[in-house]
Amino acid sequence: MSMTFVSRCVLVCCVGFLSLCSAGCSFRPSAHLRLPPPNASFRKRVKAFQELRIKKLHFYILVDRRTGQTLNRVKRPSDWYALELGNGEKVYNIKDLTPLVPPDSKTARSIRNYKHNSRVGALSFGIGIPAAGVIGTGVMIAGLFQKDTNLILPIFGVGVAVFLGGMIGSTVMGFVHKGRAHFYRGEIITSYHPDLLKKLQIKIKRMPEIGGLQQQRPTPGPSTEY
């Protein structure tokens, strides 16, 4: 068996693996979300907040009666990979929230970081691991068919190193970036409502303290409640 034939087999296997990885990627529909124009009335902007807010997401502030220390807390929805908005629409691609927040906001920055880490993690798992397996296996097979017996062991060893090193490296990189993406997704969900209110030019009024618990709700101004 010639080296040319082995090389072609390795190339075909690589292309096949990458094609399967691409075909296996799940398609998630994009949500087309829009804000009212900047000159919209206050009622329309409040209605937009009601429709674009995340359901089952609650903000509250815990207050220590003795010291006055406060802790901001967010109760996140259980299914935070399919965020349901107030209008019933589900957001699968977190980047679809980008037009709803200011470009320099914490939410926008977290979305950019989430996209980067999610992409790198997906490439590590979807392409890095299969590529390391195919290339490493191809090198090992090529080593076994060497006519010079002195080259069989070194080439086979290189194949093993590529196989194991690529697998381990891609797996570690994938988990690291996926973990970072998970963190930034949490940051997005935490900061989305305040940044959405900022984009809609709606202020937040702190409600009176009731039993040590304070809630934040959007209001049209200093005196009218939402």
Span 190-217, pLDDT tens digits: 889 889 999 999 887 654 444 444 444 4
Domains in the chain: boundaries: 3-22+41-219
pLDDT of residue 226: 36
Alpha-carbon torsion, ordered 87, 89, 94, 98, to 10 deg = -50
Tell me which residue has tokens 């959007």.
218
Residue among 93, 77, 99 at smallest CA distance from 25? 93
Q: At residue 151, does pLDDT exceed 90?
A: no
- Mean pLDDT in residue range 6-23: 52
* Rg of the chain over all Cα atoms, to the nearest angstrom: 26
pLDDT of residue 222: 44
Q: What is the pTM of this model?
A: 0.67
Task: Catalogue the long-range contacts made by 2-5 (C-beta closer than 8 Å, 24 or more residues apart).
Answer: 3/142, 3/145
Two tokens at 189?
A: 């969900």
Please answer whether residues 126 and 23 qualify as being in contact, where contact means their C-beta atoms are separated by less than 8 angstroms: no
